[in-house]
Amino acid sequence: MDLGISGKRALVCASSKGLGLGCAEALAAEGVDLVMNARGAEALEASAQAIRDAYGVKVVTVACDVTTPDGQAMVLKAAEGADILVNNAGGPPPGMWTDWEREDFIKALDSNMLTPIAFIKGLVPGMMERGWGRVVNITSQAVRAPIPVLGLSNAARTGLTGYVAGTSRQVASKGVTINNLLPGLHATDRAESLDTAAAKQQGITIEEARAQRCSAIPVGRYGTRQEFGAACAFLCSQHAGFIVGQNVLLDGGAINLTM
């Protein structure tokens, strides 16, 4: 299926690895030029070059921490006039509900709520003026069903979800859609670090922790960044113009819900 977005320009935040990279690759495969970002310049440039080589699109890289005001200013300058925005950043650390102080919550809110809002405010007005735009926020399955050890993520991402629910309905008439993609377990570095934490907590091996977590997924495995990227590219496509303010769960059936 031709997604009809060849020649568009996308900012994909936090995209040198994992789910962000999956989104960047899937958009590039559709002929979308990219602004890619991550803190580590080496991995970022390597991923950008692999995308240039594979898909022949233009890729600009901005190595910075996207959760800081300076980083946001740098990224916004490079992405001025972008048609597509994929919001992403690292997830907060696991812990117990008693562990976190105000500063921990502020950090999680900065990463997973206020940073995506800053990019929406920075890029959506231009999309509205031009009459077309797509925003996809990478959030988490934790928005539909809280994950006990990820209380910071449960809290911050739910805040973003409320903001998107209201905002998406205010910009839709100008051809701009905002939706959230909710990853369940995917095979990325983040999953590896959560497996490691689970193994340590239970005194089992990482392989045992992974097998335990896969057994709770009806599909019986972790998702891939390619599957995730394909869903993102569809939400960014011409065909997705009637999908507004939705929370699309990509979890292999893990959360037991009727709707």
Interface stretch with ligand NAP, choices 34-42, 50-58, 211-219, 232-240 (CB under 6 A) = 34-42
* Distance separating alpha carbons of residues 73 and 165, to the nearest angstrom: 25
Task: Decide if residue 229 touches ligand NAP (CB under 6 A).
Answer: no
* Minimum distance of ligand NAP from residue 34's CB (angstroms): 13
Nearest residue (CB) to ligand NAP, 91 versus 151: 91
- Which amino acid, 31? G
φ, ψ at 60 (rounded to 5°): -105, 140
Interface stretch with ligand NAP, choices 27-35, 78-86, 136-144, 202-210 (CB under 6 A) = 136-144
* Distance separating alpha carbons of residues 250 and 118, to the nearest angstrom: 25
* Distance separating alpha carbons of residues 259 and 246, to the nearest angstrom: 13
The contacts of residue 162 (CB under 8 Å, 6+ apart) are none
Q: Is 238 left (phi over 0), alpha (psi -120 to 50) or beta?
A: alpha
Q: Is 216 exposed, middle or buried (0-12, 13-18, 19+ CB in 10 A)?
A: middle
* Minimum distance of ligand NAP from residue 47's CB (angstroms): 8
Task: Decide if residue 85 touches ligand NAP (CB under 6 A).
Answer: no
Interface stretch with ligand NAP, choices 79-87, 120-128, 186-194, 231-239 (CB under 6 A) = 186-194
How far CA 201 is from CA of 57, 68, 156, 191, 221, in Å, comes to 44, 32, 24, 15, 22
Task: Decide if residue 185 touches ligand NAP (CB under 6 A).
Answer: yes
Task: Decide if residue 16 touches ligand NAP (CB under 6 A).
Answer: yes
* Minimum distance of ligand NAP from residue 160's CB (angstroms): 11
* Minimum distance of ligand NAP from residue 187's CB (angstroms): 7
Looking only at residues 87 through 106 of this chain, which bind ligand NAP when binding is defined by CB under 6 A? 88-91
Strands 9-12 and 84-87 come out as: parallel
Task: Decide if residue 191 touches ligand NAP (CB under 6 A).
Answer: yes
Which of 5, 12, 14, 236 is the binder for ligand NAP (CB under 6 A)?
14
* Number of helical H runs and strand E runs in the chain: 9, 7
* Distance separating alpha carbons of residues 207 and 190, to the nearest angstrom: 15
Which of 7, 40, 218, 253 is the binder for ligand NAP (CB under 6 A)?
40
Nearest residue (CB) to ligand NAP, 63 versus 172: 63
Size of the site for ligand NAP (CB under 6 A): 29
Instruction: List contacts with ligand NAP (CB under 6 A).
Output: 14-20, 37-40, 43, 65-67, 88-91, 138, 140-141, 183, 185-186, 188-191
